Amino acid sequence: MRKQIAAANWKMNLNFSQAQAFITELKSEQFDITDHRSVVLAVPAPYLQFTTEAFKEVAGFSIAAQNCYAQKSGAFTGEISVEMLTSIGVHHVIIGHSERREIFGEDNALLAKKVDLALEFGMTPIFCCGEPLPVREAGTQNDFVAEQLKASLYQLTAEQMSKVVIAYEPIWAIGTGKTATSEQAQEMHAYIRSQLATQYGQALADGVSILYGGSVKASNAVEIFQQPDVDGGLVGGASLIAKEFAAIIRALK
Ligand code: PGA
Three-class secondary structure assignment of the chain: CCCEEEEEECCCCCCHHHHHHHHHHHHCCCCCCCCCEEEEEECCHHHHHHHHHHCCCCCCEEEEECCCCCCCCCCCCCCCCHHHHHHCCCCEEEECCHHHHHHHCCCHHHHHHHHHHHHHCCCEEEEEECCCHHHHHHCCHHHHHHHHHHHHHCCCCHHHHCCCEEEECCHHHCCCCCCCCHHHHHHHHHHHHHHHHHHHCHHHHHHCCEEEECCCCHHHHHHHHCCCCCCEEEECHHHHCHHHHHHHHHCCC
* Catalytic residue check, 97: yes
pLDDT of residue 33: 84
Q: How far is the CA of 217 from the centre of ligand 1 (A)?
A: 10
Q: How far is the CA of 113 from the centre of ligand 1 (A)?
A: 24
* % of the chain exceeding 90 in pLDDT: 95
Contacts of 126 (CB under 8 A, 6+ apart): 7, 40, 42, 64, 92, 93, 94, 95, 165, 166, 167, 211, 234
- Please give the average per-residue pLDDT across 191-201, as a whole number: 98
Closest ligand 1 atom to Cα of 216: 3
pLDDT > 90? residue 34: no
Residue of the CA atom closest to atom 6 of ligand 1: 236
Q: How far is the CA of 238 from the centre of ligand 1 (A)?
A: 8
* Catalytic residue check, 36: no
pLDDT of residue 14: 98
Q: How far is the CA of 239 from the centre of ligand 1 (A)?
A: 9
pLDDT of residue 176: 82
pLDDT of residue 177: 77
pLDDT > 90? residue 120: yes
- Please give the average per-residue pLDDT across 46-67, as a whole number: 97
pLDDT of residue 85: 98
Q: Are 95 and 115 in contact (CB under 8 A)?
A: yes
Closest ligand 1 atom to Cα of 173: 5
Cβ of 214 closer than 6 Å to ligand 1, yes or no, is yes
Q: How far is the CA of 174 from the centre of ligand 1 (A)?
A: 5
pLDDT of residue 178: 78
pLDDT > 80? residue 166: yes
- Please give the average per-residue pLDDT across 155-168, as a whole number: 98
pLDDT of residue 180: 85
pLDDT of residue 153: 98
- Please give the average per-residue pLDDT across 113-133, as a whole number: 98
Query: Which among 106, 131, 169, 189 is annotated as catalytic?
Result: 169
- Please give the average per-residue pLDDT across 100-115, as a whole number: 98
Cβ of 102 closer than 6 Å to ligand 1, yes or no, is no
- Ligand 1 binding pocket mutation candidate from 66, 169, 217 (most atoms within 8 A of CB): 169
- Please give the average per-residue pLDDT across 196-203, as a whole number: 98
Residue of the CA atom closest to atom 3 of ligand 1: 236
pLDDT of residue 6: 98
pLDDT of residue 162: 98
**Amino acid at site 82:** V
* % of the chain exceeding 70 in pLDDT: 100
pLDDT of residue 45: 98
pLDDT of residue 175: 81
Mean pLDDT of the chain: 97
- Please give the average per-residue pLDDT across 225-248, as a whole number: 98
Cβ of 195 closer than 6 Å to ligand 1, yes or no, is no
Closest ligand 1 atom to Cα of 239: 3
